[in-house]
């Protein structure tokens, strides 16, 4: 008997939770309008090549009953109407705003999805070509995109329509803070970081002012009239030039790949990939967000984390307060005063280099560095070196980590007893790995269905479901898709933190 046989009791429970507003609109929680599907626990699936006539689709399933169809099989399926993107690869989930942004790797489109109407509202403007990394700010005001093929970082003002293509050879990643006030760009095989800044009036380009080997502080500015976008290098504030821009030695990182941000938005934590990206040592470097520089010796008027970083910076003669992460550092998740860092550590086995996955847990604003200390480490799924893995917190104190190319790792090479699956379940209360799920292919998407004690995943091109209580699999026969499932998102989450893309 299919789960829909319980529809009547569920409908009664839903009816008791619905509030009918005086204007006739129907709401289900937090002021959100009941969508056309009338589903209140929706998971959206980005599907590639769903048919011979389409290269992409956004399907919706009922995550309460784990069903793709409506009551009694009608309708047969739910989907986001109006979507025409090609090969969707990432869903930037913003449930608090009832919005989502889906990037299509086949045509370079960034489709904007309205969760209330379950329809697209068009594509973000001002973009051209394929992007290797892309984000829209939660207020929908700006889009930042890195195109490694075109060697361009694009900054687009959605409200004003202005677009600036900033030249930066080999740029391949961009990170944006949740508030949309700071973006950081990273160049592959480089030890520097950059940030775009919109100027209200034209300025002269700022130069470093030091040795000739120093790069320009302003790498590129486009267009050459107001308003002006400039791409600045993250640097130390040796002095301020006549235009008011900081001009100092560029801060040197170690193959930086991404930045994650503190809960209060005051600090950016740059992830230095180190050995897994061809560098020397994996680590994390904190940067005060406003501005993105180190104020040597400055501590008054700063938030606690910023003050700790400034104090540590002063103790290191103005150098960045970098914390080594021996297990690797290519992705991270910040939860209040705790940071979870995932990475790969190269190991040589029979003359061949393989990579072993590791999780490092940090307690922020504590320890000898003045801002963080390592409290736990654990061995997790192996993966592709330098790849930004999927990380998300779910019910029952669980952290889920997805990797790609785990068959290239140490566990696969050594036929480890625990298996070599690409998905790890970690208990944040006991600081221990609960299990590595069986190998089903690359783990390219994870959605935490909070309150229902389950997660949805996209693994090996198909959709799977797991219990957060013990990691066991839930029957997925009614949520499988035709085509390749690449990413998943819980549209009805209570918070934007239910997101693996930022």
- Shortest CA distance to 146 belongs to which of 198, 186, 195, 189? 186
Distance (Å) of CA 265 to CA 121, 173, 269, 356, 413: 29, 20, 11, 31, 41
Residue 394 DSSP SS3? strand
Query: Is residue 378 a contact partner of residue 425, using CB atoms and an 8 Å limit?
Result: no
Residue 5, sorted as left (phi over 0), alpha (psi -120 to 50) or beta, turns out to be: alpha
Count CB neighbours of 80 within 10 A. Answer: 23
pLDDT tens for each residue of the chain, 502 residues long = 444 444 444 444 444 444 443 344 677 777 888 999 999 999 999 999 999 999 999 999 999 999 999 888 889 999 999 999 999 999 999 999 999 999 999 999 999 999 999 999 999 988 888 999 999 998 888 999 999 999 999 998 877 667 889 989 999 999 998 878 889 999 999 999 998 888 766 555 544 444 455 445 667 777 766 667 888 888 765 555 555 555 566 788 999 999 999 877 778 899 999 999 999 999 998 887 765 544 433 433 444 445 555 556 555 544 457 889 999 999 999 998 899 999 999 999 999 999 999 999 999 876 545 678 899 999 999 998 888 789 999 999 999 999 999 998 999 999 988 889 999 999 999 999 999 999 999 999 999 999 999 999 999 999 999 999 999 999 999 999 999 999 999 999 999 999 998 7
Residue 495 tokens, joined: 């918070």
CA 383 to chain centre: 17
Per DSSP, 406 falls in state: G
Query: Is residue 458 a contact partner of residue 420, using CB atoms and an 8 Å limit?
Result: no
Strand partners, 397: none
pLDDT the model gives residue 419: 87
Count CB neighbours of 154 within 10 A. Answer: 25
pLDDT the model gives residue 366: 67
Query: Is residue 121 a contact partner of residue 165, using CB atoms and an 8 Å limit?
Result: no
Q: What angle do CA 397, 402, 405 make, to 5 degrees?
A: 160
Query: Is residue 309 a contact partner of residue 288, using CB atoms and an 8 Å limit?
Result: yes
Peptide bond into 226 cis (omega under 30): no
Q: What letters, b where the CB count within 10 A reaches 16 and e where it falls short, cover 423-446?
A: bbbbbbeeeebbbbbebbbbbbbb
pLDDT the model gives residue 163: 84
pLDDT the model gives residue 198: 80
Count CB neighbours of 226 within 10 A. Answer: 10
What radius of gyration do the chain's Cα atoms show?
Answer: 23
CA distance 111 to 55: 14
This prediction has a pTM of: 0.88
Contacts of 237 (CB under 8 A, 6+ apart): 246, 248, 293, 294, 295, 296
Residue 318, sorted as left (phi over 0), alpha (psi -120 to 50) or beta, turns out to be: left
Per DSSP, 252 falls in state: P
Contacts of 424 (CB under 8 A, 6+ apart): 357, 359, 380, 381, 400, 401, 402, 403, 433, 435, 436, 437
- For tokens 């705790």, name the residue: 338
Query: Is residue 332 a contact partner of residue 260, using CB atoms and an 8 Å limit?
Result: yes
Query: Is residue 157 a contact partner of residue 129, using CB atoms and an 8 Å limit?
Result: no
Contacts of 500 (CB under 8 A, 6+ apart): 390, 391, 392, 402, 445, 446, 447
CA distance 257 to 324: 15
Domain boundaries, the chain: 124-188+193-250
């Amino acid at each position: 008997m299919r789960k829909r046989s319980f529809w009547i009791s569920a409908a009664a429970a839903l009816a008791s939770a619905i509030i009918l507003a005086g204007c006739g609109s129907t709401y289900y929680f937090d002021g959100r309008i009941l969508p056309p599907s009338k589903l209140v626990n929706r998971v959206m699936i980005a599907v590639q090549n769903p048919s011979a006539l389409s290269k992409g689709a956004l399907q919706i399933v009922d995550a309460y009953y784990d069903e793709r169809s409506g009551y009694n099989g009608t309708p047969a399926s739910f989907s986001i109407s109006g979507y025409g993107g090609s090969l969707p690869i990432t869903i930037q989930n913003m449930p608090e705003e009832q919005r989502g942004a889906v990037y299509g790797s086949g045509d370079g489109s960034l489709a904007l999805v309205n969760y209330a109407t379950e329809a697209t509202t068009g594509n973000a403007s001002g973009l051209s070509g394929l992007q290797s990394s892309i984000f829209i700010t939660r207020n929908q005001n700006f889009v930042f995109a890195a195109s490694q093929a075109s060697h361009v970082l694009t900054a687009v003002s959605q409200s004003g329509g202005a677009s600036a293509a900033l030249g930066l050879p080999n740029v391949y990643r961009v990170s944006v803070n949740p508030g949309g006030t700071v973006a950081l760009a990273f160049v592959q095989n480089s030890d520097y970081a950059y940030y775009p800044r919109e100027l209200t009036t034209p300025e002269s380009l700022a130069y470093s002012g030091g040795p000739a080997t120093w790069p320009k502080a302003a790498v590129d500015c486009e267009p050459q009239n107001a308003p002006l976008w400039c791409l600045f290098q993250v640097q130390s504030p040796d002095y301020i030039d006549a235009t008011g821009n900081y001009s100092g030695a560029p801060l040197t990182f170690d193959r930086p790949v991404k930045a994650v941000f503190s809960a209060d938005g005051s600090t950016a934590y740059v992830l230095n990939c180190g050995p897994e990206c061809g560098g020397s040592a994996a680590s994390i470097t904190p940067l005060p967000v406003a501005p993105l520089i180190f104020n040597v010796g400055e501590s008054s008027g700063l938030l606690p984390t910023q003050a700790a970083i400034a104090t540590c910076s002063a103790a290191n003669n103005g150098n960045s307060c970098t914390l080594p992460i021996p297990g690797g550092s290519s992705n991270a998740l910040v939860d209040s005063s705790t940071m979870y860092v995932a990475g790969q550590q190269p190991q040589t086995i029979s003359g061949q280099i393989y990579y072993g996955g590791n999780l490092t847990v940090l307690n922020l604003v504590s320890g000898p560095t003045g801002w963080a200390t390592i409290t736990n480490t654990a061995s997790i799924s192996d993966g592709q070196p330098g790849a930004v893995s999927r990380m998300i917190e779910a019910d029952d104190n669980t952290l889920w980590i997805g990797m790609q190319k785990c068959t290239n790792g140490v566990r696969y090479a050594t036929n480890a007893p625990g298996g070599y699956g690409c998905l790890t379940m970690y208990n944040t209360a006991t600081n221990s790995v609960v299990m590595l799920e069986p190998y089903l292919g690359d783990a390219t998407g994870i959605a935490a269905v909070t309150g229902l004690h389950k997660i949805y995943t996209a693994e090996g091109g198909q959709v799977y479901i797991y219990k957060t209580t013990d990691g066991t699999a839930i029957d997925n026969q009614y949520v499988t898709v035709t085509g390749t499932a690449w990413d998943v998102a819980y549209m009805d989450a209570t918070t934007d933190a239910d997101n693996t893309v930022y």
